[in-house]
Structure 1
Amino acid sequence: MNRRTLLMGGVGAAAAAAGAGVAWWRLRPGPVLGEAESQFWASAFPDVLGAPVSMAGFRGRPLLVNFWATWCPPCVEELPLINTFYREHSDRGWQVLGLAVDQAAPVSRFLARLPLDFPVALAGFAGSDMARSLGNPSGALPFSVVFDVDGAVLHRKLGKVSAEELAQWALLV
């Protein structure tokens, strides 16, 4: 083979590789969500007034979901800290959702005493099942889950969160 044939073959191979790279980049698959994550994003829960809160509406930005109840002392203790996290990070795209494993009346009374800046929905006792499917085998409270912008679970925390943990989570996305 002569030099010109080798040069043309090399240019052709480089062009093919570049084309394949561009095609892969444009058509690359998104994250594959597990069944529990997919079920979470397909769910909707009522707020304290009964209006539906669709989980799909939170997709596309980082989300901290906190499963809590009014009758759970560690849950009540961590809510002001989570509210501060929301106020400090919402301008950077962070969202927070409280899913109360509780009934409307006690949650309404609680929110009247301690208003929260982030939305709260009523998961009721089905919230325990949702928490279990997302990685909380005991269904204990409080339980927090961090989702990335693609809807995949990045982190789970059973028990009360700390300011240090919240600061670390803020850096995840």
Structure 2
Amino acid sequence: MLAAAAAAGWLAFGRSATHEPAPQVNYTLLDGQKLSTDTLKGQVVLVNFWATSCTTCVAEMPEIMATHEKYKSRGYQTVAVAMAYDPPAYVSNFAQTRKLPFGVAIDNTGDIAKGFGDIKLTPTTFLINKRGEIVKRYVGTPDFEALHTLVEKLLAEKA
């Protein structure tokens, strides 16, 4: 019982709004494009830490794709960050065969995961507002209906 209560408390904390500035990180995408925290300001950004070996990550990817497609024309960006332990060939193959419509970065050094609080659990997803502040952190699959409501609110805000 105590363990369940502790887990519930941890999950509640893991999903809390922080409004901390997003860490200053650089992303190199599979296509060679470079993004950074600064270049993404002015957009609502979903940063998803995932791995090809994570069944929950693979299962939620169609919803992440649908969310991206729904909002991309309104200033919404998705960056999928593959964990350092994920073989780059697997990540590239996954992105190509699934036709991921957003940027995919491989965190070869683990620096991006460290920047976001030393992420170890996948999937872990962050929603960042136009001002570059972390608004929500999800550990596990987000409630996509609630996520869409929050994205709508954030897209309506001024930068």
TM-score by length of 1: 0.68
* Deviation sequence 1:1-49 (CA, Å, 0-9, x none): xxxxxxxxxxxxxxxxxxxxxxxxxxxxxxxx85x62xx2x32132225
Structure richer in helix, relative to its length: 1
Which residue is 2:68 aligned to?
86
Which residue is 2:145 aligned to?
164
Which residue is 2:43 aligned to?
61
For the aligned residue pairs, the C-alpha RMSD in angstroms reads 2.1
Unaligned runs of 5+ in 2: 1-18, 155-159
Unaligned runs of 5+ in 1: 1-32
Maintained 8 Å contact 1:67/1:127:
no
Provide the rounded CA distance (Å) in 2 between the counterparts of 1:61 and 1:141: 24
Structure richer in strand, relative to its length: 2
Specify which of 70, 82, 85 is matched with residue 52 of structure 2: 70
Maintained 8 Å contact 2:68/2:102:
yes
Letter in 2 for 1:76: V
Specify which of 84, 100, 108 is matched with residue 82 of structure 2: 100
What percentage of aligned pairs have identical amino acids? 26
Paired positions, count = 133
Residue 129 (1) aligns with residue 114 (2): yes
Shift of 1:92: 1.8
Shift of 1:104: 2.0
Which residue is 2:26 aligned to?
44
Shift of 1:129: 1.9
Provide the rounded CA distance (Å) in 2 between the counterparts of 1:55 and 1:115: 24
Alignment of 1:4-43 (within 5 A): 34=20, 37=22, 40=23, 42-43=24-25
Shift of 1:50: 4.7
Maintained 8 Å contact 1:53/1:121:
no
TM-score by length of 2: 0.73
Residue 145 (1) aligns with residue 132 (2): no
Provide the rounded CA distance (Å) in 1 between the counterparts of 2:53 and 2:112: 15
Shift of 1:51: 4.6
Provide the rounded CA distance (Å) in 2 between the counterparts of 1:169 and 1:100: 24
Maintained 8 Å contact 2:44/2:128:
yes
SS of 2:78's partner is strand
Q: Give 1 or 2 for the bigger CA radius of gyration.
A: 1
